[in-house]
Amino acid sequence: MKNLAPETLAAQAGGVIDEETGAIVRPVHMATTFLRDPDNQYRKGYSYGRPDNATVRQVEAVLTQLEGGAASLVSASGMTAATTTFLALERPAHVVAPDVMYWGLRKWLQEDAPGLGIEATFVDAGDPVAIRAALRPGKTKLVWIETPANPLWTITDIAEAASIAHQAGALLAVDSTVQTPVLTQPIALGADVVMHSGTKYLNGHSDVMAGALVFARTDAHFERAVRLRSMLGGILGPFEAALLLRGLRTLHVRVRHQCAGAMTIAQHFARHRRIEAVLYPGLAVHPGHAVAARQMHSGFGGMLSVRVKGGEAAAVATAANVKIWKRATSLGGVESLLEHRASVEGPGSPCPPDLLRLSVGLESPDDLIGDLEQAMAAA
Ligand SMILES: Cc1ncc(COP(=O)(O)O)c(C=O)c1O
């Protein structure tokens, strides 16, 4: 059937039934090797578990549909997916990246990528003029954006960034981990590659490391990414792929609920005597609100940050006092997490020292607000 709603595709994991048994949940394909035909061919399409796996392919098919792409590659972590996007460029490559972004990838771009022929210029990606000014026509191969971007939730206009990148002959890749395909489909806005840390919302239960790339076209960049995954062995394991597929089945209800919870919490603390500022694109005061309202549908995401009055000491003490929020890194799971982000990112990070990053789960927003209130009062 054509034109099924995305939540229908996700809930039914693409609607695939196991042909042998009729099982509505397909068995996990654990085999690492496959029988050759007597004439030396592999007509069933599988030869070995490092290049490909049927359970991985099922997740990829669902993700490709949810993102409206041409093909997907699922990998062992978000970092595998992100670094593959850069390593699959023809080198030497100049790239443009945001100064507010997932710190692990920024560190890789700063410290590891130059030795691999990849030179990054970091810009304020909330400002299209800054993106344009950083481009070196003929040399810039890729513009990387993350929206909303960790941990300030800066918003980049995807359609505008795509048009600017394309005018200079560069690709646009979007780290869409926080918006998920439920809220935004960057390919429809002009992006060439969409990246996810599947560890976060796609799986949603804080029990699988995974990454994904969705490509707008099966072009030369895609083919080099396929080859890298096969040669470097970054494919996701079959058991993790099955768990990721299970997570995807509830993606839409989880993300919509998390967006509603984040909005309630953001509004509660927006004018609060112990809070300096709430950073959430759903609030009208956020500098990216208008763009976010245009390109994010049915919510502004489940991530927000609060800047605690009293500086770093007050923020760290608040984190120490929470009872329901879990003091842990990562995001996008069913349980709410809180983190003093500057402690993670270290020197050189744009993260202010008074900032707590909040990943809103599926608990009652009233319980989460009450817990933060008591934690701040006791700090
Ligand atoms: C926005 C974003 N992108 C990429 C990553 C990296 O993903 P992973 O930890 O799955 O390698 C993370 C992880 O925290 C992230 O938050």
Residue 209 Cβ inside 6 Å of ligand 1? The answer reads yes
Nearest atom (ligand 1) to Cα of 178 = 1
Q: Is 175 in the pocket of ligand 1 (CB under 6 A)?
A: yes
Residue 50 in tokens: 């490092």
Does the beta carbon of 211 sit less than 6 angstroms from any atom of ligand 1?
Answer: yes
Structure tokens at 204: 């949603």
What is residue 348's predicted lDDT score, i.e. its pLDDT? 85
Structure tokens at 370: 């009450």
Q: Whose CA is nearest to atom 6 of ligand 1?
A: 78
Any ligand 1 atom below 6 A from CB of 150: yes
**Do 365 and 343 meet the contact criterion of CB atoms below 8 Å apart?**
no
203 lines ligand 1 (CB under 6 A): no
- Residue 22 CA to ligand 1 centre (angstroms): 36
72: left (phi over 0), alpha (psi -120 to 50) or beta: beta
The confidence score (pLDDT) of residue 68 equals: 98
Minimum-distance ligand 1 atom for the alpha carbon of 210: 10
Q: Atom 10 of ligand 1 has which residue's CA nearest to it?
A: 78
Separation CA 122–CA 194 (nearest Å): 19
* Closest ligand 1 atom to 198 CA: 10
pLDDT value for 1 = 62
92: closest CA among 132, 133, 120, 134? 120
By DSSP bridging, strand 326-327 and strand 193-197 are unpaired
**pLDDT given for residue 230 in this prediction:** 98
H-type alpha helices, the chain? 6-11, 54-67, 78-87, 103-111, 128-134, 158-167, 180-183, 220-232, 238-248, 251-270, 289-295, 311-321, 341-345, 365-378
Query: For the whole model, what pTM was predicted?
Result: 0.98
Average pLDDT of adjacent 10-residue blocks, the chain of 379 residues: 88 93 96 97 96 98 98 98 98 98 97 98 97 96 98 98 98 98 98 99 98 98 98 98 98 98 98 97 98 97 98 98 98 98 91 98 98 97
What sign has the CA pseudo-torsion 240, 241, 245, 251?
Answer: positive
